[in-house]
Amino acid sequence: MILTTTNSIEGHRIIEYKGIVSGVSVNIQKMKMTFNMEKYYKAIEESISDVKEQAFKQLTDHAKKLNANAIIGIKVDIQITSSNYVTVSATGTAVITAFKRE
């Protein structure tokens, strides 16, 4: 599965637009507060990374259900609440692509 934030894929042509797909994930466990700012920021970074990976898995799963082989125009939105919950939303357009023949 090709994933890109651009609206086209170099060396490919879009054959069919299948529809908008999205993936949303929230960290289940609240991050622990710490007085060590380095540990706090490291925990936020790890939480965002984990939640983003889950959101992208949902995104690609939804595209596969539409028989797409690529997702273009991906937009990622990351929110951190005052309660230290992380939400990641990824949205894009599922498409079928083929290699361009020159």
The predicted pLDDT at position 68 comes to 97
Please report the DSSP string for 41-94 in residue order.
HHHHHHHHHHHHHHHHHHHHHHHHHTT-SEEEEEEEEEEE-TT--EEEEEEEEE
The predicted pLDDT at position 9 comes to 93
The predicted pLDDT at position 102 comes to 60
Taking 70 as the pLDDT cut, the residues of the chain under it are: 29-34, 101-102
The predicted pLDDT at position 82 comes to 74
Please give the tally of structural domains in the chain. 1
CATH number of 88's domain? 3.30.110.70
Note down the domain range covering 39.
2-99
Burial of 40 (0-12, 13-18, 19+ CB in 10 A): middle
The predicted pLDDT at position 32 comes to 60
- pTM of the entire structure? 0.82
Tracing tokens 């990374």 back to the chain, one arrives at 49
The predicted pLDDT at position 33 comes to 60
